[in-house]
Amino acid sequence: MKSTNRDDYQDTPRPFAGMAKDFADGSRIEPHFHPRAQLTWAAAGVMTVTAARGTWIVPPNRALWIPAGTEHAIRMSGAVAMRAIYVDAVVAEAVAVDCKVILVSPLLQALMLELVAAPLDYDTSGRMGHVEALFLDEIRTLDAQPLHIPMPRDKRLRRVCEGLLRDPGRRQTLAEWSAVAGASSRTLARLFERETGLRFVDWRNQVRLAEALVRLAQGQDVAAVARAAGYDSPSAFSAMFRTTLGKTPRDYFD
């Protein structure tokens, strides 16, 4: 049986090393980094990864690329079946130098599972050599719309962002947040775009979607999730969810 200790995958004879590790709901991996890059994927459950001045939500149809040496922490929602592919730093340079979200196609899923099942010294002269090449091609090309919550540096804007992270269902307008932030709504709007690359409403929608994915992974019903995410009705929430992720909340984890 292969190790579930990530340290055992950092100095291997092959460019790719796949690890499988399961976690209970609410489990956490404390901040850490490693010499290899990592493609992390949850075959079941949802991972919330904090890295690179932001938070990334990783549901089963997406994986997160984490460059070598990048400090990150992970929180599990629902029972999480984490599958991690550790990539040699030299090979990783051909993929990306920053965190990025990768769409998990059926082919990429199958390739990751092959690498997880393979021994650390797998034979590259045959079938696994083809798996290596296909895997690298897939992760270089399959970018996806990120479920990313970038965090600003500006202290005034962080007050707004931290308030929404604590309670994503809050419905205050940017003008109503002004008193909390100590800045005008015009200043806050400018800061949102400059520091996060998103408008206020788009940043808030990302937070709400992230909260919804976490709650759905924990088994909460759609009506309760819709209320927590600030929606007036389950139907309005379901329409947003399907538009963004391609499936209804009820079907997403099936």
Q: How many domains does the chain have?
A: 2
pLDDT of residue 253: 76
Dist CA 19 CA 7 (whole Å): 11
Dist CA 214 CA 197 (whole Å): 24
Q: Which of 109, 141, 173 is the last residue of a domain?
A: 141
Same structural domain for residues 196 and 132? no
Q: Is the pLDDT of residue 144 over 70?
A: no
Q: Which domain holds residue 226?
A: 152-252
Predicted TM-score of the model (pTM): 0.83
Torsion (CA) 221, 245, 92, 118 in degrees, nearest 10:
60
Amino acid symbol at 98: D
Same structural domain for residues 136 and 15? yes
Same structural domain for residues 127 and 11? yes
Same structural domain for residues 156 and 137? no
**For residues 234-241, average pLDDT:** 90
Same structural domain for residues 110 and 230? no
DSSP 232: S
Same structural domain for residues 163 and 88? no
Phi first, then psi: give them for residue 143, nearest 5 degrees.
-70, 150
Please, what's the b/e burial string for 135-166 (b: 16 or more CB within 10 A of its CB; e: otherwise)?
Answer: bbebbeebeeebbbbbbbebebbbbbbeebee
20-67 per-position pLDDT tens digit = 999 999 999 999 999 999 999 999 999 999 987 789 999 988 999 999
| Pairing status of strand 28-32 against strand 46-51 | unpaired
Q: Which of 141, 175, 205 is the last residue of a domain?
A: 141
Residues 6+ apart with CB under 8 A from 124: 14, 132
Q: Is the pLDDT of residue 121 over 80?
A: yes
173-220 per-position pLDDT tens digit = 999 999 999 999 999 999 999 999 999 999 998 899 888 988 998 889
**For residues 71-88, average pLDDT:** 96
CATH code of the domain in which 114 resides: 2.60.120.810
Q: Is the pLDDT of residue 254 over 80?
A: no
Dist CA 63 CA 42 (whole Å): 7
DSSP 143: B
Same structural domain for residues 121 and 188? no
Q: Is the pLDDT of residue 143 over 70?
A: yes
